């Protein structure tokens, strides 16, 4: 779906929504679709997408973003109950610097264990509190 809400031709997730590419669906409602990742980080790795084509979170209207997050919570709760991991990461990437590979908003639900070796965690290193405070003021002023 482009800005007018239509699915676009060359997006792999739009093709999944149209049924042109098979998927292992775990949930669907009028605004969202959840399915298993076929290149999982760990067992139970799932994806949630809106049924609206928007490249990333910046381009996704609230009317689609809110329901997508509600579905993320529902599916993550089910994954947690079935897989019983030590934890779950939610991952949503925007742009090449964040390693976004499919340019249709999507949220990864990734079951985790402390010893799985997945490298999306980082060490806690205190930052410059004055610089953080100044940046917080700038970000607050930019919120629409």
- Do 57 and 94 meet the contact criterion of CB atoms below 8 Å apart? yes
Output the CA torsion sign for 2, 8, 11, 17.
positive
| Whole-number Å distance between alpha carbons of 32 and 46 | 13
Strand partners, 111: 88
Strand partners, 46: 36, 109
Catalytic residue list contains 106: yes
Name the active-site residue from 45, 53, 104, 106: 106
| Whole-number Å distance between alpha carbons of 86 and 73 | 17
- Do 112 and 42 meet the contact criterion of CB atoms below 8 Å apart? yes
Q: Which two tokens stand for residue 36?
A: 């298993």
Show which residues are catalytic.
106
């Amino acid at each position: 779906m482009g800005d007018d809400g239509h699915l676009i031709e060359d997006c792999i997730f739009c093709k999944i929504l149209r049924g042109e590419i098979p998927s292992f669906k775990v949930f669907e409602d009028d605004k969202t679709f959840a399915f298993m990742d076929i290149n999982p980080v760990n067992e139970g790795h799932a994806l949630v997408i809106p049924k609206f084509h928007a490249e990333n979170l910046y381009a996704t209207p609230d009317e689609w973003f809110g329901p997508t997050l509600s579905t993320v919570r529902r599916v993550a709760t089910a994954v947690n109950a079935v897989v019983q991991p030590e934890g779950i990461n939610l991952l949503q990437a925007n742009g090449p610097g964040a390693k976004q590979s499919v340019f249709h908003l999507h949220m990864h639900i990734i079951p985790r264990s402390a010893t799985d070796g997945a490298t999306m965690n980082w060490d806690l290193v205190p930052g410059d509190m004055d610089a953080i405070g100044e940046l917080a003021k700038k970000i607050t002023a930019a919120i629409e």
